[in-house]
C-alpha cells in the first residue's frame, strides 16, 4: 500500500474510531454499574443528532406529521450540540426511570431489563419516524463555520512534500472534539469525587450504600452521562455523514456493542481501545469491498474472541465454589 494512502486511512480511522469510543463508553458505564446492556442507547444516539439538527434551525423535510416544521430560532452550533446532547442525556434518564428502575426495584432478572430497553428503542425510532419521517436530513455545509465551508479538506505534507495528503476538515474537527471528550471523561472518572463514587457503586453497590453513597443518585447520573455521550456521538456522525433516518443509530448501536465486547465488558480503557481498533479496521477496507465495511467490526470481534474470550483488556472472571 502506498504510504500516503496508508497515512490517510490511518487518520480517517482514528477520527471515526474516537467517535465509536465515545459512543461505546455510554454502554460501558451503564454495564459497569447495573451489569446490563442498554439496547436503547442506539436510539439515544439518533435523538441526539435530531435534537442538534433542529436546535441549529434545521427544517424537517421529511414526510412525518411534523413535515416542514422547525424551531423559530437557531442556536450556534457549539451551544446546540451541548444542549442537544444534554437533552439526549435526560432522555436516557427517563428511559432508566421507566424501563429499568421498576424492574430493578422488584429484583427482576437482568434479562428482562435488556428486553425492556430493546422495546423502548423500538418505540423511540418508530415515534421519530411517525413525527419526522424516514428521509435523510443533512446538516448545513457551514455548520462548523465559514472556514470549514471554504476549506473542505486540509493537505498534510509530513510524509512526502510532493504528494500532500488531503484530510476532510470535518474529520479533523471530529477527531479533536472526540479526543477532548475522552480526556475530560478520563479525568472525571479517575480524578474526581464523582468518579470515585461511581467506581465504588460499580464495584459493590451495597458496600457503597453503607459508606454513604446514594446509589440511586449515581445511577441517575450514570444514565445522564451515558445519554449525553450517545447524543454527542450521534451529532458528530451526523455532521460527517448526515442523519440517514430514524434507524440511523441501529447500525452504530450494534457497532457499539461490538466495541465494548471487543475491548472487554465494563472496561473503560477497553472501550476506547476497541473503538480505535474497529475504526482503523474499517478505514483500511479496500474500496472494492466498501459494501462489506459494516461486517468488519463483527468479523474482527469473532476473531479476537476466539483468542481472548474476555476481550482485549477484559479480565477473566474467577468463579469461587
DSSP annotation string for 140-152: -TTTT-HHHHH-S
The answer to whether position 39 is within a domain reads yes
Return the exposure string of 188-211: e unless at least 16 CB atoms fall within 10 Å of the residue's CB, then b. ebeeeeeeebbebbbeebeebeee
Is the pLDDT at 319 greater than 70, yes or no? no
Q: With 60 as the cut, is the pLDDT of residue 249 above it? A: yes
Does the residue 312 lie in any domain?
no
In a domain, 60, yes or no: yes
Q: Is 253 within the bounds of a domain? A: yes
* Residue 178, in any domain of the structure: yes
CA distance 153 to 183: 26
Cell of 33: 454499574
List b or e across 135-161, with b for residues whose CB sees 16 or more CB atoms inside 10 angstroms: eebebeeebbeeebeeeeeeeeeeeee
pLDDT at 316 over 70: no
Q: For the whole model, what pTM was predicted?
A: 0.90
| Structural domain contains residue 314 | no
**pLDDT for residue 318 is more than 60:** no
Q: For 98-117, how does the pLDDT look when each residue is reduced to its tens digit (9 = 90+)? A: 989 998 888 888 788 889 99
CATH code of the domain containing 261: 1.10.3470
Residue 122 vs residue 61, higher pLDDT: 122
Per cent of the chain over pLDDT 90 is 31
Mean pLDDT confidence for 156-183: 82
Residue 212 main-chain phi, psi, to 5 deg: 100, 5
Domain assignment present for residue 273? The answer is: yes
Number of domains, the chain: 1
Which range, of 14-18, 64-68, 123-127, 317-321, averages the lowest pLDDT? Answer: 317-321
Question: Does some domain include residue 317?
Answer: no
Average pLDDT for the chain: 86
Range of the domain at 113: 3-307
**Cell 462489506 maps to which residue?**
292
Instruction: Say yes or no to pLDDT of 317 above 60.
Output: no
Q: Is the dihedral of CA 261, 312, 18, 3 positive or negative?
A: negative
Q: Which residue blocks in the chain are alpha helix, DSSP H?
A: 3-34, 41-55, 77-95, 101-105, 110-131, 146-150, 169-191, 193-203, 205-210, 215-241, 248-263, 268-283, 296-307
The model's confidence at residue 315, banded by pLDDT at 50, 70 and 90, is: low
| Confidence band of 212 (pLDDT split at 50, 70, 90) | confident
**Of the candidate ranges 26-35, 70-79, 223-232, 284-293, the one whose mean pLDDT is the lowest:** 284-293
pLDDT of residue 68: 85
Q: In this structure, how many other beta carbons lie within 10 angstroms of the beta carbon of residue 176?
A: 12
For residue 320, the model assigns a pLDDT of 42
Q: What is the pLDDT of residue 321?
A: 42
Looking at residue 91, its pLDDT comes to 95
Cα distances (Å, whole numbers) of residue 60 to 57, 81, 139, 238, 248: 10, 18, 11, 15, 16
Amino acid at each position: 500500500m502506498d504510504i500516503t494512502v496508508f497515512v490517510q486511512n490511518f487518520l480517517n480511522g482514528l477520527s471515526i474510531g474516537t467517535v465509536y469510543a465515545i459512543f461505546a463508553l455510554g454502554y460501558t458505564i451503564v454495564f459497569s454499574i447495573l451489569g446490563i446492556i442498554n439496547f436503547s442507547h442506539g436510539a439515544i444516539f439518533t435523538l441526539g443528532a435530531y435534537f442538534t439538527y433542529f436546535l441549529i434551525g434545521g427544517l424537517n423535510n421529511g414526510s412525518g406529521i411534523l413535515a416542514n416544521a422547525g424551531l423559530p430560532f437557531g442556536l450556534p452550533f457549539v451551544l446546540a450540540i451541548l444542549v442537544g446532547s444534554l437533552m439526549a442525556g435526560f432522555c436516557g434518564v427517563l428511559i432508566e426511570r421507566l424501563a429499568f428502575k421498576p424492574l430493578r426495584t422488584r429484583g427482576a432478572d437482568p434479562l428482562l431489563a435488556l428486553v425492556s430497553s430493546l422495546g423502548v428503542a423500538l418505540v423511540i425510532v418508530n415515534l421519530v419516524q411517525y413525527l419526522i419521517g424516514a428521509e435523510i436530513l443533512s446538516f448545513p455545509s457551514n455548520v462548523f463555520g465559514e472556514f470549514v465551508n471554504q476549506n473542505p479538506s486540509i493537505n498534510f505534507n509530513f510524509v512526502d512534500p510532493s504528494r500532500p495528503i488531503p484530510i476532510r476538515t470535518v474529520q479533523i474537527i471530529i477527531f479533536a472534539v472526540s479526543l477532548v471528550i475522552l480526556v475530560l471523561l478520563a479525568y472525571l472518572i479517575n480524578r474526581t469525587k464523582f468518579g470515585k463514587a461511581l467506581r465504588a457503586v460499580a464495584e459493590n453497590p451495597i458496600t457503597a450504600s453503607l459508606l454513604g453513597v446514594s446509589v440511586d443518585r449515581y445511577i441517575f447520573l450514570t444514565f445522564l452521562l451515558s445519554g449525553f455521550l450517545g447524543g454527542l456521538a450521534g451529532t458528530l456522525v451526523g455532521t460527517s455523514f448526515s442523519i440517514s433516518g430514524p434507524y440511523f443509530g441501529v447500525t452504530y448501536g450494534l457497532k457499539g456493542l461490538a466495541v465494548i465486547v471487543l475491548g472487554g465488558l465494563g472496561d473503560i480503557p477497553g472501550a476506547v481501545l476497541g473503538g480505535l481498533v474497529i475504526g482503523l479496521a474499517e478505514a483500511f477496507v479496500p474500496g472494492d469491498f466498501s459494501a462489506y465495511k459494516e461486517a468488519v467490526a463483527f468479523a474482527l470481534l469473532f476473531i479476537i474472541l476466539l483468542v481472548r474470550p474476555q476481550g482485549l483488556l477484559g479480565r477473566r472472571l474467577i468463579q469461587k465454589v
